[in-house]
Amino acid sequence: MTLKEQYTKQIIPALSKEFGITNHMAVPNVRSVTVAVGLSQGLKDPKFFEVAESVLTRITGQKPVKTKAKKSISNFKIRQGMVVGMRVTLRGKRMWDFLEKFVRVTFARVRDFRGISSSHVDAQGNITVGFREFLSFPEIRPDEVERIHGLQVTVTTTAGDHAKGLALLKALGFPFHKD
């Protein structure tokens, strides 16, 4: 059973019963997943842009969008309009496929992983998980990697508060540890 099917058949009835929601459209849902990379190393090495772009494309299946600096910051040698990051926003079928792979495969491959703290879920029910290295994603083969960099994955929900967001993410299979 895919994660989307599990959500529609099991999670929606469970969450509506838990929170007393009568309308199934009001049950918390995942709106989007954003995968982002900061390119601070790319300021010194232009080849880093290509490496980061190919990694994001392989992980998500979409071409990343370059994010630019809104204003100049002299201490970091950043000028307005410079490319400082890349991100991919996933919605629909690709989002559900990515979430399934993320929850069921990627977390299991992270070295010394003990679970996510429930405090990572913000007041609106969204969660951001950072990775120091992208090698835990199954599309990346360690022998092909030239440079290792970090990335962050943000799951945006329609929960509206911490409790509903936490319940949704636990039901989807996010591995939270006991605080």
Domain coordinates of the chain in residue numbers? 3-36+89-172
Question: Rounded distance, CA 42 to CA 55, Å?
Answer: 14
Question: Rounded distance, CA 9 to CA 14, Å?
Answer: 9
Q: What is the pTM (predicted TM-score) of this model?
A: 0.84
**Among 54, 51, 55, 41, which residue's Cα sits nearest to residue 83?**
41
pLDDT at residue 135 tops 90: no
pLDDT band at 90 (very low <50, low <70, confident <90, very high): very high
- Give 92-118 pLDDT, tens digit per residue: 999 998 888 888 887 777 777 778 888
Question: Rounded distance, CA 70 to CA 62, Å?
Answer: 24
- The predicted model gives 128-155 an average pLDDT of 74
Question: Rounded distance, CA 82 to CA 42, Å?
Answer: 11
pLDDT band at 31 (very low <50, low <70, confident <90, very high): very high
Could you identify the residue written with the tokens 């090495």? 45
Q: What is the mean pLDDT of the chain?
A: 82
Q: Which fold has domain 3-36+89-172?
A: 50s Ribosomal Protein L5; Chain: A, (3.30.1440)
